[in-house]
Amino acid sequence: MTTTTNKKIRVAVLMGGNSSEREISLQSGKTVVQYLRSTKFSVKSYDTKRDLKKFLNDCLAHKIDACFIALHGKGGEDGSIQGLLEVLKIPYTGSGILASAIGMNKVVQKEILKENKILVPKYISFKSSDYEQAKSRQAILREIKQKICFPCCLKPANSGSSRGVSIVKKEKDLAKSIKLAFNEDEEIIVEEYISGKEITVGILDTESPQALPIVEIVPKRKFFDFKAKYDPKFCQEIIPAKLPKKITQEAKKIAKRVHKIINCKGFSRVDMIVKGTKIYTLEINTIPGLTPQSLMPKALRSCGVSIPQFLDKVVSYALKKKRTK
C-alpha cells in the first residue's frame, strides 16, 4: 500500500453502477472527486457499469490504495462490492459486507431493530412469488387491511431514494402501488403510515459515533419522494430541526444506537418520524447521498465540517481500519 510521505494516496471513487439510483450515484461520485484534497490524494473515478474490468486490472496491478464507495442501491450499497474489495484486500469507505446487506434490506433491518427494542412502524412483508398465487394474495391483502390499515406506505424491501415507494390512502389503489414496488424488487414491505415530523440524523464515525445536527424535512409534495429529495423546489430542510431539547437528545441517541446495532462504519444516516413524544425509526442508509442536494453534506456544513474535511476523515479511517485488521 503506497502511503509514504512522498506519494499521494491513490483513491478509486466507485460510482454509477446498474441500480435505479445510478444517476444519483454519479452525482455523489462527482462530489467526492471534486472535493477530495488534491495535496493528499490522487483520485480516479470508475463507473462500475462501464469500467469494472479496468478497475479490477488496476487493483491487481497495485495501482489503488483505497476505494471510496459512492454507489447507491443494489450492486453497491448491499454488500456485493464490499465483498469484492475484501477479496482484493483493498481498503474501502463505509460499512462492511454484513452491515451493508442488512442496511439495504428493510425487512431484515426492521426485525433486528425490533429485537433491540428500537421503535419501528408496524409492518408486514411479502414476496412476488407469494403475491402471484391467488390464495396467498388474498391472505396478504387481508393482512394489510387488518394489521396495517389505510393509509399505508408501500416500499420495495431492497431499494433507495424512494424509488417504488407509494403512500396508499384507499384499498382500490393498492394493486397499482404493489406493481410499482415490484418493479424495483421481488420483496415488498408495507408499513403503517405515521403522520408526524420527518427527520434524519447523520452519523460520522471515524473515531467514535457522533450524531450530526438533526435535519427536519418538510416536503412540498405528498411525501419525501424522489422529486422532493433532489429538487429543492419540492422540499424545505430545517437545520437544526425544530424539536424540544429532550426529543433532539433522544433522537440522536437512538440514531447512534441504530448505527452500532447494524455495525455500520465510517458514516451513515438514520431516517425517523417524530409523533408527539414517540420517535419511530424508518431505516438506516449505509451510503447516504453526497450530491449538492443531499442531506448528509448539509448536516456536516451546519456543524462546521466541510466536505473536504469529511472525505479526508472517511478515507483516512478506511486506511486505518485496514492496518488494524
Helices 106-115/97-104 angle, 10° precision: 100
Catalytic residue among 25, 159, 161, 166: 161
* Residue 21 bears catalytic tag: yes
Catalytic residue among 269, 280, 294, 317: 269
> In this structure, what are the phi and psi dihedrals at residue 32, rounded to the nearest 5 degrees?
-65, -45
* Residue 65 bears catalytic tag: no
Catalytic residue among 271, 280, 294, 317: 271
* Residue 250 bears catalytic tag: no
Catalytic residue among 123, 230, 280, 317: 230
Catalytic residue among 184, 191, 205, 283: 283
SS3 assignment for the chain: CCCCCCCCEEEEEEECCCCCCHHHHHHHHHHHHHHCCCCCEEEEEEECCCCHHHHHHHHHCCCCCEEEECCCCCCCCCCHHHHHHHHHCCCECCCCHHHHHHHHEHHHHHHHHHHCCCCCCCEEEEEHHHHCCHHHHHHHHHHHHHHHCCCEEEEECECCCCCCCEEECCHHHHHHHHHHHHCCCCEEEEEECCCCEEEEEEEEECCCCEECCCEEEEECCCCCCHHHHHCHHHEEEECCCCCCHHHHHHHHHHHHHHHHHHCCCEEEEEEEEEECCEEEEEEEECCCCCCCCCHHHHHHHHCCCCHHHHHHHHHHHHHHHHHCC
Alpha carbon 111 to its chain centroid, in Å, reads 17
* Residue 161 bears catalytic tag: yes
* Residue 37 bears catalytic tag: no
Catalytic residue among 16, 17, 20, 21: 21
Catalytic residue among 158, 160, 289, 317: 289
Report the catalytic residues.
21, 161, 230, 269, 271, 283, 285, 289
